[in-house]
Chains A and B, each alone.
Chain A
């Protein structure tokens, strides 16, 4: 029994429209029989301007074969609106398609259109919960994160939407401290969403963020995501790198400090016992501090850059040598 629309009585009233192609096409695709059949009927549907329940079935069929088929998505959305379909039901129908084709942009664009049309904070809150499931499959999926961030800014509701986001990013960072998407999300939630500036005392936020990132660095010092976050926090708040110099210094040593030497300072956690030291990012950080101090300190920066160039980060040798040339020119 064939599964083609050509053999389906429901479609007997439609004459399929084959694809136009001139004699010598470049890079033609060998379509499967099913895809050719469905898109032939789709061309006819679109030409006739048909918007009906069977069009929803047809576009879903095409999308499952080719989720990048943006015209099928466009016409599907138009049909849903014309039929005054239940858009929340459409979201649920699209849930497994979203998971299966999470790397396809159109999947997320469609949901964005649906959420905009539904225009309900309750539905947006449910959507954030659904996205946790999706991100569990791939915690760094770019489209999914962009869509999540769009929901937050579009609906902009503190109690129902924003409030859960910092703990959520924290949970993901706890599971994988090198998940840069989660670090980025934290930065977005804390600083760069714009609408939230002034929510909390700047000083309190700065202290909280520094204490958070320092703790994560102490557990896994060689983690570019955390160091980039630290630098971002300092730069965003115009806090000089120098203020953290005494905390960073132990990370530039060859070995963790001997136990019991210092009183435990929770605000300034030391590298853990099994940390791989010295840490490249710490050497870089201290060199930046010395460069900024200038004068006699420049020589100390140059020493650190030489260590990076020749021993600790040889793949960026030319970069560290460039930093040396630059600093010496300035001094």
Chain B
């Protein structure tokens, strides 16, 4: 089916400049992202990457500054190494790379920093791989989950996904107890077919993506081969629930009987793609919904008529890359393929695969 409702197509340059503006500066109203700034950086850079506008929207010197800034957030201490959100707790006289109890690496920031550096085609020569493995171990809890910070904080499936993805980037799973973590993921499975944020939680689109991506990233263990992580009955129930979340608006909601939201289009759509069921989505209805979420001056909002932000802009483009609709030759919709498990374009994922793992010592 063709989409005729929006003759303007995908507003590529508007979305790119929305994210470009955020990379230059954020208004004071955005102060809540102070402790998660690298995540915002990732959504902005990811948007430019998907739109293939990184080189037109920035100069090489600028990208060099950005890489340098990102590396300054890699810090080391008693819990190993990782990236902090920003220097928001770092005093002006700081020098070196030591963390403190108030300036610790953060799991989500470490995941998004690594992806951002891959988008910026960094060579990762500064990466403290062993330190990161120690950091992952420090974040894993008794129950198998991961906390955002090595000394506490939120502990749920989102953090677990980040720990799994980082291990997968490094191609080294020695930092985590995989079986214990999979036990935890399974305890988050709800009667509806989705996964809650924590055990006993209501099925939620975002954490269902995290759970499924985690289960598909990890190599076989003695306890869990890939087939045992999700039974065929559980899988069928999950596919059913995910598809049920596509509402008559064309967009996906994150929980049963809620309203559609652009970010859940990605979380549910990518989850279906991971399960090999992406082709069951009504992509044209989905694409039509996201078209209506576009803000006329650039950026994509969570729902039609709302204010745009980099998070919803990136995730909307990411699902359009994962589940493309037929737009009858309208080139504004041409987007690269996305690696749904890592949440990166295939080119960026290939770069990461080549540069993040430790180099094997040569035979001689």
Are A192 and B92 closer than 8 Å at their CB atoms? Answer: no
Chain A CB within 8 A of B53 CB: no
- Residue of A39, A142, A225 near B197 (CB, 8 A) is A142
Q: Are A228 and B91 in contact (CB under 8 A)?
A: no
Does any Cβ of A come within 8 Å of B70's Cβ?
A: yes
Mark contacts of A151-179 with chain B using CB atoms, 8 A cut-off: 1 yes-contact digit, 0 otherwise.
00100000000000000000000000011
Name the B residues within 8 Å of A192 (CB-CB). Answer: 191, 200
Q: A75-B102, A232-B191, A315-B282 are in contact. Are A224 and B244 (CB under 8 A)?
A: yes
A20 to B68, CA, bound (A): 14
Shortest distance from the beta carbon of A74 to any chain B beta carbon, whole Å? 7
Cβ–Cβ contact B37 & A24, under 8 A: no
Q: A142-B197, A180-B257 are in contact. Are A22 and B69 (CB under 8 A)?
A: yes
Q: Which residue of B lies closest to A67 (CB)?
A: B32
- Complex interface residues of chain B between 177 and 214 (CB less than 8 A to chain A): 190-192, 197-198, 200-204
* A20, B36: Cβ atoms closer than 8 Å: no
8 Å CB contact of B91 from A29, A43, A184, A322? A43
**B219 adjacent to chain A (CB < 8 Å):** no
Given contacts A180-B255, A315-B248, contact A30 B28 (CB under 8 A): yes
Instruction: Name the CB-closest residue of A to B249.
Output: A315
A146 touches B244 (CB 8 A): no
Would A318 and B22 count as touching, CB distance under 8 A?
no
CB pair B89 A316 closer than 8 Å: no
Chain A residues closer than 8 Å to B68, beta-carbon distance: 22, 24
Residue of A nearest to B246 (CB): A315
Q: Could you say which of A17, A20, A31, A235 has the most chain B C-beta atoms within 10 Å of its C-beta?
A: A20
Give chain B residues whose Cβ lies under 8 Å from the Cβ of A146: 197-198, 201
B256 touches A224 (CB 8 A): yes
Bound-state CA distance A240–B255 (Å) is 26
Q: How far is the CB of B166 from chain A (nearest CB, A)?
A: 20
Residue of B nearest to A149 (CB): B200
**Chain B residue, CB-CB nearest to A232:** B191
Partner of B200, one of A24, A32, A188: A188
Chain B: interface size category: 35 or more
**Pairwise interchain contact A68-B34, C-beta atoms closer than 8 A:** yes
Which of B24, B31, B255, B281 is A31 in contact with, Cβ under 8 Å?
B31
**Assembly CA distance A225 to B244 (angstroms):** 11
B28 partner, pick from A27, A35, A140, beta carbons under 8 A:
A35
Interface of A: prevailing SS: helix
Cβ contacts under 8 Å, A26 to chain B: 23, 37, 41, 65-66, 69-70
Contact of B282 among A31, A47, A316 (CB under 8 A): A316
Closest approach, in angstroms, between the C-beta of A175 and any C-beta of chain B?
14
Confirm or deny: B26 has a beta carbon within 8 angstroms of a beta carbon on chain A.
Answer: yes
Minimum C-beta distance from A162 to chain B (A): 13
> Using Cβ atoms and an 8 Å threshold, which residues of chain B touch A74?
102, 151-152
Q: Mark A15-27, 1 if CB is under 8 A from B, else 0.
A: 0011111111111
Of B24, B25, B94, B200, the residue contacting A193 (CB under 8 A) is B200
Given A22-B68, A27-B40: A32 and B31 interface contact (C-beta under 8 Å):
yes
Task: Report whether B32 and A66 are in contact in the complex, using a CB–CB cutoff of 8 Å.
Answer: yes
Shortest Cβ distance from residue A143 to the other chain B in the assembled complex, whole angstroms: 9
CB distance from A304 to the nearest CB of B (A): 15
Bound together, the chains give a CA A146 to CA B279 distance in angstroms of 33
Residues 238-274 of A, flagged 1 when their CB comes within 8 A of B and 0 if not, give 0000000000000000000000000000000000000
Residue among A27, A28, A68, A145 with most chain B CB within 10 A: A27
Distance from B93 Cβ to chain A, minimum over Cβ atoms (Å)? 7
User: How far is the CB of A110 from the nearest CB of chain B, in Å?
Assistant: 11
Q: Hey, what's the 0/1 contact readout for A27-61 against B, CB within 8 Å counting as 1?
A: 11111100100010001101100000000000000
CB distance from A327 to the nearest CB of B (A): 12
Query: Are B27 and A109 in touch, CB under 8 angstroms?
Result: no
| A74 to B200 alpha-carbon distance, docked (Å) | 26
Among candidates B36, B44, B244, B257, residue contacting A178 with C-beta atoms closer than 8 Å: B257
Which residues from B are CB-within-8-Å of A75?
Answer: 102
Assess whether B30 is interfacial by the CB under 8 Å rule.
yes
Say yes or no for B243: interface residue by CB 8 A criterion. yes
Chain B 246-287 per-residue mask, 1 if CB under 8 angstroms from chain A, else 0? 101010000111100000000000000000010111100100
**B66 contact set on A, CB distance < 8 A:** 24, 26
Q: What is the CA–CA distance of A31 and B29 in the complex, to the nearest angstrom?
A: 8
Q: Given A27-B23, A27-B44, A66-B31, do A140 and B258 touch, yes or no (CB 8 Å)?
A: yes
Q: CA–CA, A228 to B23, complex, Å?
A: 43
Assess whether A32 is in contact with B257, with CB atoms less than 8 Å apart.
no
**Most B C-beta atoms less than 10 A away, residue of A32, A65, A146:** A146
Let me know if B91 and A17 touch, CB within 8 A.
yes
A235, B87: Cα distance in complex, Å: 50
Check if B142 is an interface residue, CB within 8 A of chain A. no
A318 partner residues in chain B, CB cutoff 8 A? 279-282
Contact A69 B69 (CB under 8 A): no
A99 contacts B by Cβ under 8 Å: no
On whether the beta carbons of B27 and A30 are closer than 8 Å, the reply is yes
Q: Is B124 an interface residue (CB 8 A)?
A: no
Q: Quick check: A39 and B153 within 8 Å, CB to CB?
A: no
| Contact A319–B280 (Cβ < 8 Å) | yes
Do A105 and B154 touch (CB < 8 A)? yes
CB < 8 Å neighbour of A236 from B33, B70, B191, B282? B191
10 CB contacts below 8 A, A to B, read A26-B37, A27-B23, A32-B31, A35-B31, A65-B31, A66-B31, A105-B154, A142-B202, A228-B241, A236-B191
Closest 9 CB pairs between A and B?
A: A232-B191, A24-B65, A20-B90, A184-B202, A180-B256, A17-B91, A18-B92, A178-B257, A20-B94
Question: Which chain B residues have a beta carbon within 8 Å of chain A's beta carbons?
Answer: 22-28, 30-37, 40-41, 44, 62, 65-66, 68-70, 72, 86-94, 102, 149, 151-154, 190-192, 197-198, 200-204, 237, 239-241, 243-244, 246, 248, 250, 255-258, 277, 279-282, 285
Show the binding face of A for B, using Cβ within 8 Å: 17-32, 35, 39, 43-44, 46-47, 65-71, 74-75, 104-105, 109, 140, 142, 145-146, 149-150, 153, 178-181, 183-184, 187-188, 191-193, 223-225, 228-229, 231-232, 235-236, 315-319, 322
Given contacts A75-B102, A142-B201, A316-B280, 11 further A-B contacts (CB under 8 A): A18-B92, A19-B92, A20-B87, A22-B69, A26-B23, A28-B25, A29-B30, A30-B25, A68-B34, A228-B256, A315-B246
